[in-house]
Amino acid sequence: MLIVMAIAAFFATSPVTNCTFYKTLNQLFIERKSLRGNQIIEQPLESILRLDIQEKQFKYSKLYRVVIVLKSGKEIPINPQYADEKSIRYVFSRIQSFLKSVISE
């Protein structure tokens, strides 16, 4: 029972992340909401240099996350949590194709 409560407490305090790319505003908004507070990150789309996939080795597997690399060198994880490779590659490709469409205009 204690383990179930600990897991529930972890998920209840984990931040929820919304990442929105506004083509018309030329802005990126990353909003993280949790019980500990809210954080909003705003960046102009032209400040994005590239996307990367970060890899982290856990005990028996590797997990991944998408990171936005700014021209300043700062790295902003889209989601602070790591996830499976297939999900991350899908998110990466969707964002990459959006950014290519914005840059080509």
Read off the pLDDT of residues 7-42 as tens digits, 9 standing for 90 and up. 445 545 567 888 898 888 999 998 988 777 888 889
Confidence of residue 4 (pLDDT cuts 50, 70, 90): very low
What is the Cα–Cα distance from 105 to 90, expressed in whole angstroms?
23
User: For residues 41 and 52, what is the distance between their CA atoms, to the nearest angstrom?
Assistant: 18
Average pLDDT of the chain to the nearest whole number: 84
- Look up residue 40 and give its DSSP letter: E
- Please provide the CATH number assigned to the domain covering 2-103: 2.30.29
Domain boundaries, the chain: 2-103
Give the predicted TM-score (pTM) of the model: 0.77
Q: How many residues does the chain have?
A: 105
CA distance 92 to 66: 6
* Cα-based distances in Å from 6 to 11, 16, 29, 32, 79: 9, 18, 31, 22, 22
- Model confidence pLDDT, tens digit, residues 56-70: 998 889 999 999 999
